[in-house]
Amino acid sequence: MNTISYSKRELQQLDTIEQSWSGDELKIEDDNVKVWLTHRDNRAYDGDYTIETCIKGVWHQTKCYFE
């Protein structure tokens, strides 16, 4: 399980790499990790941000909440 956490301010201050069709903003991307800041309309379903981790070629999503 991923134990990385971010503050709202940290993610908002990063440049947006890509925006999803639902309005979520990709803020961090490397070979095995993507971090999406969730659009406010989606937070009830998707958390405050999503961490995607690639494990053996398969992407896994973890919903995360700001503390």
6: left (phi over 0), alpha (psi -120 to 50) or beta: beta
Q: Which ranges of the chain does DSSP label H, i.e. alpha helix?
A: 8-13, 43-46
| pLDDT, tens digit (0-9, with 9 covering 90-100), for 24-66 | 999 999 999 999 999 999 999 999 999 999 999 999 999 999 9
- State if pTM tops 0.75: yes
**pLDDT at residue 5 in the model:** 82
| pLDDT, tens digit (0-9, with 9 covering 90-100), for 5-33 | 889 999 999 999 999 999 999 999 999 99
pLDDT score of 1 more than 80: no
Instruction: Give the three-state DSSP class for 40.
Output: helix
**pLDDT at residue 27 in the model:** 97
Tokens matching residue 3 = 């134990």
Parse the chain into domains and list their residue ranges.
8-64
| Position 6, amino acid | Y
Nearest to 33 by CA among 59, 64, 66: 59
